């Protein structure tokens, strides 16, 4: 039985769902949502805070400032609360209400951007506000998850080795692309280990991470309106772009079997199913996809039929549609 004294001390790193009975496809889902922050972002948050403390740039008077669509904000909120730091999360209107309330409940301040930048979207507007805060208050410390190497180092040291240990015969790994920290940490690890693993990035339609045209995105988490500074495409073998309505259908298929998972997970699972159907239709394959978070914070959005219908159309969750990836 684990006994802990800080929320960051508890981390489940070895739980996988076998999705063959649920979806009929040979896919294992690595569940990263079982910690006090509720997402994979706890790893990056812990690594970035530890680095800032080692370098002496974070002290009791500092105000940690970060842009986040939600999950990293929650992780930083909990770590800041446990260590006695001030934290300001800059998010936007797509952030789930439950996520905002959670951050505020543990003492964080939350600033919501309501208007997107004409070119950089909501992320561009959030980053502009972060820069303004840092320029106006010398106590501010921007960890900058979009350029901080510890965003991928955390996964190079933890997530990827855990997968490699559990699946020595791994053929394909599917990783969602947001800031691309998880993606780059895992991709670098497997490329440098010289294991014959195909690493597939799963991105949202409307994201510019891999050079696609910008477009509206309503599900927070994956995708970006500004190219990631962490991304090195040479480590990635293939990319799948998933429309949000297909991500939601995948989530509802999982929920119908009792697995309530987060918005980014729907994108990753849908992309994985599409890629496997095209590239490994009849070939035996050991495939793993990373699930970033759980679904409770999405009950008022992707799991709410009125919300889905208003944004994606009345037939988005038709019975036949829900059964397609």
Active site residues: 41, 264
Distance CA 234, CA 232 (A): 5
CB count in 10 Å sphere of residue 150: 23
CB count in 10 Å sphere of residue 238: 14
Distance CA 130, CA 133 (A): 5
Identify the CA nearest to 220 among candidates 297, 147, 150: 297
241-255 residues labelled b (16+ CB within 10 A) or e (exposed): bbebbbbbbbbbbbb
Distance CA 37, CA 88 (A): 16
Cβ(173)–Cβ(29) under 8 Å?
Answer: no
């Amino acid at each position: 039985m684990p006994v802990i004294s800080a929320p960051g001390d508890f981390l489940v790193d070895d739980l996988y769902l076998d999705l063959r009975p649920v979806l009929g496809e040979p896919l294992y889902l690595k569940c990263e949502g079982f910690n006090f922050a509720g997402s994979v972002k706890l790893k990056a948050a812990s690594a970035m805070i530890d680095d800032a403390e080692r370098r002496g740039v974070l002290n009791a008077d500092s105000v940690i400032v970060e842009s986040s669509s939600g999950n990293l904000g929650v992780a930083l909120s909990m770590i800041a609360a446990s260590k006695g730091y001030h934290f300001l999360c800059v998010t936007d209107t797509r952030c789930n209400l439950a996520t905002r309330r959670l951050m505020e409940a543990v003492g964080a301040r939350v600033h919501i951007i309501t208007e997107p930048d004409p070119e950089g979207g909501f992320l561009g507007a959030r980053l502009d506000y972060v820069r303004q805060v840092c320029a106006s208050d010398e106590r501010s410390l921007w960890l900058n998850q979009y350029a901080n190497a510890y965003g991928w180092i955390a996964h190079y040291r933890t997530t990827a080795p855990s997968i490699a240990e559990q699946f020595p015969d791994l053929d394909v790994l599917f990783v969602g692309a947001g800031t691309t920290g998880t993606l780059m940490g895992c991709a670098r690890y497997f490329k440098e280990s010289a294991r014959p693993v195909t690493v597939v990035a799963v991105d949202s339609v409307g994201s510019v991470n891999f050079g696609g045209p910008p477009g509206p995105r309503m599900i927070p988490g994956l995708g970006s309106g500004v190219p990631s500074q962490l991304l090195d495409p040479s480590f990635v073998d293939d990319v799948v772009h998933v429309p949000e309505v297909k991500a939601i259908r995948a989530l509802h298929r999982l929920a119908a079997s009792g697995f309530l998972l987060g918005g980014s997970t729907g994108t990753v699972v849908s992309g994985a199913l599409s890629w496997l159907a095209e590239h490994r239709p009849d070939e035996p394959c050991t495939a793993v996809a990373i699930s970033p978070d759980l679904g409770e914070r999405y009950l008022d959005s992707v799991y709410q039929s009125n919300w889905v219908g208003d944004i994606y159309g009345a037939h988005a969750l038709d019975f036949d549609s829900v059964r397609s990836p």
